[in-house]
Amino acid sequence: MGWPLRMFEEEGYYFVTSRCFQGRLLLRPSQEVNEVVGGVLAKAVQQSGGAVRLHAFTFASNHFHLLVWAQGAALASFMQYLRANLSRKVGRLVDWRGGFWERRYSAEPVLDDAAMVGRLRYILAHGVKEGLVEKCAEWPGLTCLSQLLGPARRVFRWFNWTKRWSARRREDVVEGAGRYAEEWAESVELEVAPLPCWERRSEEERRREVRALLGDVEEEARSKGKPSLGAAAVRAQHPHTRPERLARSPRPLGHASTRQALRELREQYHAFVAAFREAAERWRRGDFSARFPLFSFPPRVVPGRIALVL
């Protein structure tokens, strides 16, 4: 069964999720992992040249969530850069050489302000809703919480391995300098932008809204009366650990506060798929003048007696 087609708008907001291979804890929080992840995320946003804006994020032990604004298909190249660099740099830290990601990332459009606040609440709830920590601020992994309650900009280190490779023959390079040596570290700034529905509010008003969300999440967790695992136990887990069970659910087409908005999105998506399939069929027959829907990617064709579409 093929992957579902991605439909990008000229600009839009997306809730993005990506899970590690087999649900293994390859992103298990540690000081080193958090610094590397922050540097890669900041560099990915920087590389987008303003085509991707970050509104919220959280990195769990085996997956991550982002809430972003993106122009056209810029999200595709952003995610390619982000996931490729995380797999190489975090993979090296945790001694993992195999495939790092389980499958393609999901990117679901967020259609209105209420749904956007709901996605922010979901991101902030990580760690608490799973019973790993009692308070949102106790989660030891990298999250946007400190930037929502304090300065919106935070500086991380990006380890420039290209610079290390280019300098490997220099006499002044420290012998055996590792991939995470300070010599290759570059400062890169990561900014978290306010939700569009909160842009006209003061910083204190936005922080008050965030604290209200935190209180709601923590109160809901306390009402269940279950003990939490604790941050120390989370950090002590081995990153190669494979959970016995993984919670799986169908990916929603999008997030909205009304059924009407979701119905319209579904109709728009069905029209997009129909247009893409019609263009792909013409493409398969060798008609390369076929026009594909905006911000979609034509299939790759293998030359031969009969054109084969991959």
Query: 11-245 sits in which CATH class?
Result: alpha beta
Q: Is the pLDDT of residue 86 over 60?
A: yes
Cβ atoms of residues 135 and 228 within 8 Å: no
Strand partners, 155: 189
Q: Residue 224: enclosing H or E segment and its boundaries? A: none
Cβ atoms of residues 191 and 54 within 8 Å: yes
Query: What integer is the mean pLDDT of 284-292?
Result: 87
Q: Residue 263: enclosing H or E segment and its boundaries? A: helix 259-284
Q: Count CB-CB contacts under 10 A for residue 251.
A: 11
Q: Is the pLDDT of residue 161 over 70?
A: yes
| Residues of each domain in the chain carrying CATH 3.30.70.1290 | 11-245
Q: Is the C-alpha dihedral spanning 299, 302, 305, 306 positive or negative?
A: negative
| Bridge-based pairing state of the strands 185-191 and 153-159 | antiparallel
Q: Count CB-CB contacts under 10 A for residue 66.
A: 28
Query: What integer is the mean pLDDT of 29-56?
Result: 96
Q: Is the pLDDT of residue 118 over 90?
A: yes
The predicted-structure confidence for 124-152, as pLDDT tens digits, reads as follows 999 999 999 999 999 999 999 999 999 99
Classify residue 44 as exposed, middle or buried by CB count within 10 Å of its CB (0-12, 13-18, 19+): buried
Query: What 8-state DSSP symbol labels residue 254?
Result: -
% of the chain beyond a pLDDT of 70: 93
Sequential DSSP letters for 91-119:
HHHTT--S--BSS--EEEEB-SHHHHHHH
- What distance in Å separates the CA atoms of residue 247 and residue 23, rounded to the nearest whole number? 10
The predicted model scores a pTM of 0.91
Classify residue 183 as exposed, middle or buried by CB count within 10 Å of its CB (0-12, 13-18, 19+): middle
What HEC string does 36-66 produce?
HHHHHHHHHHHHCCCCEEEEEEEECCCEEEE
- What distance in Å separates the CA atoms of residue 94 and residue 99, rounded to the nearest whole number? 13
φ/ψ of 52, rounded to 5, equals: -130, 130
- What distance in Å separates the CA atoms of residue 230 and residue 133, rounded to the nearest whole number? 5
Q: Is the pLDDT of residue 303 over 60?
A: no
Cβ atoms of residues 139 and 133 within 8 Å: yes
Q: Is the pLDDT of residue 302 over 80?
A: no
Q: Is the pLDDT of residue 93 over 70?
A: yes
